[in-house]
Structure 1
């Protein structure tokens, strides 16, 4: 990922944070390579509706938020999304989907940046260093392309204080030293509220309601409260006090029918003939919860490719 080039950041800092930045590569500040921006709202909607399974709350929310933001030549602020749910529910998948529909090179675009706390913020005693590096990395990359996308995975494992450096970039009319951040997209991902989201889905199931009848408003107040009070990186942060997050997006736990679709998608990707015995064996090998009802996959669709390969070799 491009965000691993932290050495490049340090070189930029040593060369002077603002020297020559307005004229690099004969471009204006924040001007992206036109050939790299390829957003098509119809293609994006099709991907969300056909490749993402079991997330009826995610599809319209993310589609409208991203499409409105990208289509607006003069947005009032950066788009800030907060994804919540269990591993394997589709949070990273949707983040990559946004990149693959926005950029010609997709998730390999120089304008797409993904941070993982276990890789980029591992040492708690280096919080100050990480804050300086992160601030510089975001500033310089948005100066290269205002349509940059920044993904922060597992934010509940990022040390408190690090994310506060984002605050100057996230507000209305956000400009920092001539660099305009209003077209940028920031996505935060967390599993902290996953159990609460599961409780909403489970109680709805127990009342014999259809999953698709769950409304976004059924989760919003809880998501916002828990995110700002129980997720360590947001609690007491500038992101919380200034209400910079535009949308809290819940990813529901996946049921067998949804995981089955993920298996079929993987079989298609491998040009495999659909075999119900193989699909059944993969589903059987997965872990499900609650213990009695066995409704939801503990790992969602994560690891399906690996399990499919093992089952295929066994049969």
Structure 2
């Protein structure tokens, strides 16, 4: 087929002007198609349309065997090998088969311990690029996955899906001891340790035990002066990602916590709870007799002479 449209940079030929213009963006770096959610740019509109499914959660390519959905046809085709047991890429160490070569390459790092992807902010290492990209959102504060019900943002699509169960009320994982329901199996497993008293995650410095690995990681920072979570605006460091996210709202002026009684909004859930007590009349302070009292009534009474002096 004749390709009369030539690129002046690399002399590659194209059959029409539109293909040439699209190709030239690889030289200019132009990305005219921009995502309205996260402002990421793309050279062609088809790539933008596929990317937008990350935000909407749309998965139009569905597996006929298990019903699992995918954003791209090639991902569905790779997945279907799971059902056909076709795994042409075999690990020479453990004999496990993989449907794609890059899956095998990622898996082999389990045996080698290699973690070639390094965070430029805190030097944490990762075995896969996707793990590093997810981690970096801790430092940037980026939350591209937005809940369509409450506008809350998340760093990962899986976290958004878990959150959405809070709106549906679905809690399929039930504790056999107390019948409490959970949205995730991992949350149920962590909860069950409250009944068993098991604390498998032990601090190597002080031997304190924790029911969850996340609790141990947060605790470990107390033994060091490290503040690895840096604000991208003011470079202030924090010991946990939660504290960084709370701090960043100072810069973004985001107030995600809304009062159910009025239109006032707050940066933190604790400030919202304090505010809502003004509507309900509830007090967090309890007297020895069991009655709720205000902070002022807990103060030591002053003499009338002293009050008159201060007035």
TM-score by length of 1: 0.23
State the structure with more CA Rg: 2
Q: Which has the higher contact order (CA 8 A, sep 6+)?
A: 1
TM-score by length of 2: 0.23
Q: Which has the higher helix share?
A: 1
